[in-house]
Structure 1
């Protein structure tokens, strides 16, 4: 049987190409493990490819609850933030405006985090409640998971204690949100460039 060539008469609109992606490294410091009970205290962000293009804000707490261990890590003070921190609605508006400003026209911003599940849930929650929109949409890239897929590693082998000696000269995270966002960006760039990660992890 002769196969007829496809007619172009009934072909619908051609699918539009996916927009290019603008990777943005994001880190947060919080008063505890979940946004329903504990406050988001600071946000740091930078472009993965240009970490000098950055954003930082400290937020006034929404809850009084705080875990001493969390505050010990971040060195942030609930009392000082209550007095001097930016109101959450204002902070999230500033963050969204920065994301919109630094994302090139025609591209879409992509949230990149190290253990993105933690940072993402606070940022997504605050965006939705205070702004009614999340400029990152509903997805994020987790550096740990990306490394696991590329290197064929276990979750334990994707920890910062394992990856920092290989990609960051052994430096530890500072737990300043902007400093950590920049370190995460450097780590992600290095993993992306490491063609051998899948073979010698």
Structure 2
């Protein structure tokens, strides 16, 4: 059985290494939209890394989310080893799900390899926008949240707090999964 691990990251720049992942969270869902567990951690910044000027200017507009991602920081090596263990203990094979997967997976994969030595996700990630594009039969750039059916969205916050966003995006993914007429449950 696959477990869909909706994951959101908060960072201080566009790439890992020169920039740091400040916070990340995952919400693990079954295909039937049962939330089987969550994981979240705020991380200390990487030695020698610094915040990107544009990203830090955006953070200045998000004081509540900034405070949330800087509380109770852990060393990346501690958090990523705990996270890898959590993934392995899920009641099925973990599938990374992100919005956008290319950005979130980049950081999570890099941090898992760097600090935990391996990734239970292997080299793959499922992008919610790309999946919505396939279900809707639309062009990629036309597939925006504003253009998606309202029935796909639960009344959940998108606050730029990693756990809130992971839960919200995971529910969105499960709703799209359920709406796919070509999917055999």
3-state DSSP of counterpart to 1:75: helix
Distance 1:45 1:172 in 2: 15
Larger Rg: 1 or 2? Answer: 1
Q: How well do the aligned residues superpose, as a CA RMSD in angstroms?
A: 2.5
Give the match for residue 56 of structure 1. 40
Give the match for residue 100 of structure 2. 115
Query: Is the 8 Å Cα contact of residues 43 and 73 (structure 2) preserved in structure 1?
Result: yes
* Structure 1 segment 17-166 matched on structure 2, within 5 A: 20-49=1-30, 50-51=34-35, 53-62=37-46, 63-66=49-52, 67-71=55-59, 72-73=61-62, 75-76=65-66, 81=70, 84-102=72-90, 104=91, 107-163=92-148, 165-166=150-151
Gaps of 5+ in 2: none
Distance change (3 Å), C-alpha of 1:164 and 1:55: farther
Gaps of 5+ in 1: 1-19
Query: Is the 8 Å Cα contact of residues 28 and 37 (structure 2) preserved in structure 1?
Result: yes
Shift, 1:167, TM fit = 1.5
Runs of 4+ in 1 over 6 A off after TM superposition: none
